Structure 1
């Protein structure tokens, strides 16, 4: 009954937002996010993360960054139901694709690629644009807790061309490997805490980081290609695909994996510094002892 009630609320919200234009839905989401976000417990997590990453920032700077963060998250929630109405082929001005030449070159070779990105701006736009530009690419996805809502999300993503698989656990890892074995590329978000990952520096602090993308790239000698998305204004974005990260110098496999994971973390750091309000600050990215030490 609880799942059904949540699904009913989800459907009602989707219907409400879909009745608006894309820009109006984005503005509506920003309004809701700005009002409700600061009342939620993740607001405190985001503040602590910002204080850790920007130790010299004053309270007013952090407050302003939090306001802008909730504006972005709200916009994402307003835009997601309308994604099928957006220019996901990136042929116009609302969504631009930088690095199309990189994708074209990789696609021409026909070999599998491991794409890595982060939760920036509207990361659903990032996934959808990449899926349209490189159809033989499968996206990772963490299932929603409510199976009724999860089914709706999966169907909605499939409608605009995103083929997904679930990365969590052994089954997800096997599915990703199978995709690479059959010549498909895979795309993974690599900016959140992964307890069974490896420890690598993130803004100079220890952070458990998923090593799967690095391991897959090494195993299949596949290029590890970073990607990101930036919100220019409203529901207007620039999706960026970068040149592949350099191959590791270390001969030892364990050290090579750490080298690649560290390179990914540095890429994520650089994107955060470019547009700090557009990152998903509301998860506990660092080790528990980092937060305990910061709290005194």
Structure 2
């Protein structure tokens, strides 16, 4: 693991375009060698894009492996680059939708796209954040990721196991909560609502937290817009959320994420088992 960190440290000296070039053969190898994840990605794409030809879905999956390889290799930049480099690599679009709410509680809806680490580090330079952290099994990796999340001394890190109370306390001074909602966390505290037409177990915590804190929901989407540039787009705050029906809230969230995925499908996290949890009586998805 330490050797891997050394390689990432070396890579951070390269321009993004060079890392992009290196990621292409790495992604090609991963596509061919990491068969379990290839099968997961293929199954997800079959379900979400049933009208596409198998060849089109396979091209998308290969592009996604390239994007994921680049995502992993860019951790060198995320962890080791000078602070000023983030300002060169990531631009904002409509940041005012977020900064105008500095005196209100805010939940940042932030789905899993491959630019999410690079862009959130840029955001954290200018905006304090509450971040929920899931511990890693490898202690060395866990320590490195945790240290990275605090590199700007502008984030409050709350463990996923700590529960709701520390989270609400961390938000009391109007520090925005960074909320990543689009992974299968099991059936507990989840509802089944469509995602690309497939019933997906979707956690409803955003509705509860918004209700308890009277927080505004501000969607933020990271995009890789060129081989050497990212853009972080902030969308207008949602009205009428929560609406009083957690299932309707979850469906609204999934519909928004789906629309953004269709704009940049190769950049979404297709290798996650998003549909692992099934409604009672359904056969296994994977």
TM bucket normalised to smaller = 0.7 to 0.9
The residue number in structure 1 matching 2:113 is 120
Q: Aligned-pair distance for 1:237?
A: 0.9
**What corresponds to 1:72 in structure 2?**
67
* Partner Cα separation in structure 1 for residue 85 and residue 237 of structure 2: 23
Q: Is the 8 A contact 1:27 1:78 kept in 2?
A: no
Q: Offset at 1:288?
A: 4.5
2:227 to 234, 237, 240: 234
Partner SS, residue 8 of structure 2: helix
When you count helix as a share of all residues, which structure comes out higher? 1
Give the 3 Å change call, closer, same or farther, for CA 19–144 of structure 1 in structure 2. Answer: same
Report if aligned partners of 1:214, 1:224 keep a CA contact under 8 Å in 2.
Answer: no
Report how many aligned residue pairs link the two structures. Answer: 279
Query: Structure 1 stretch 188-197 or stretch 63-72: which is displaced more?
Result: 188-197
1:270 corresponds to which residue?
259
Q: Say if 2:53 is the partner of 1:55.
A: no
Distance 1:122 1:161 in 2: 21
Q: In the alignment, which residue of structure 1 is the partner of 2:169? A: 178
- Give, in whole Å, the separation in 1 of the partners of 2:151 and 2:277: 39
2:147 aligned with 1:152, yes or no?
Answer: no
**Deviation, structure 1 residue 85:** 4.0
Do structure 1's residue 10 and structure 2's residue 1 form an aligned pair? Answer: no
Q: CA deviation at 1:234?
A: 1.5
Deviations 1:27-49 (A, max 9, x none): 32333122223321111101100
SS in 2 for 1:190: coil
Structural mapping, 1:206-245, within 5 Å = 206-245=199-238
CA distance in 1, matches of 2:92, 2:206: 23
Q: Which residue of 2 aligns with 1:142?
A: 134
Check 1:161–1:237 CA distance in 2 against 1; reply closer, same or farther (3 A cut): farther
1:97 matched residue in structure 2? 92
Structure 2 distance, partners of 1:209, 1:158, is 28
Distance 2:215 2:67 in 1: 33
Query: Relative to structure 1, is the Cα distance of residues 217 and 66 closer, same or farther in structure 2, using a 3 angstrom cutoff?
Result: same
Task: Work out whether 1:43 is the aligned partner of 2:34.
Answer: no
Provide the C-alpha distance between the structure 2 equivalents of 1:288 and 1:222, rounded to a whole number of angstroms: 29
Alpha-carbon separation, structure 2, partners of 1:24 and 1:130: 24
Deviations 1:224-248 (A, max 9, x none): 1111111112131111111112214
Normalising by structure 2, what TM-score?
0.88
Deviations along 1:24-70, one digit per CA (max 9) or x if unpaired, are: 23332333122223321111101100000001111110110011101
Would the alpha carbon gap of residues 273 and 131 (structure 1) be closer, same or farther in structure 2, given more than 3 Å must change? same
- Farther-moved stretch of structure 1 (182-191 vs 63-72): 182-191
Contact 1:88 1:128 in 2 (8 A): no
- Cα distance change, pair 113–140 in 1 and its aligned pair in 2 (3 A): same
1:17 positional shift? 1.9
What residue number does 2:197 align with? Answer: 204
Q: Alpha carbons of 1:293 and 1:267: their partners in 2 closer, same or farther (altered >3 Å)? A: same
Do the aligned residues in 2 keep the contact of 1:197 with 1:208 (CA within 8 Å)?
no
Q: For the residues of structure 2 that align with 1:240 and 1:133, how far apart are their CA atoms?
A: 15
Report the 3-state secondary structure (helix = DSSP H, G, I; strand = E; otherwise coil) of the residue aligned with 1:175.
helix
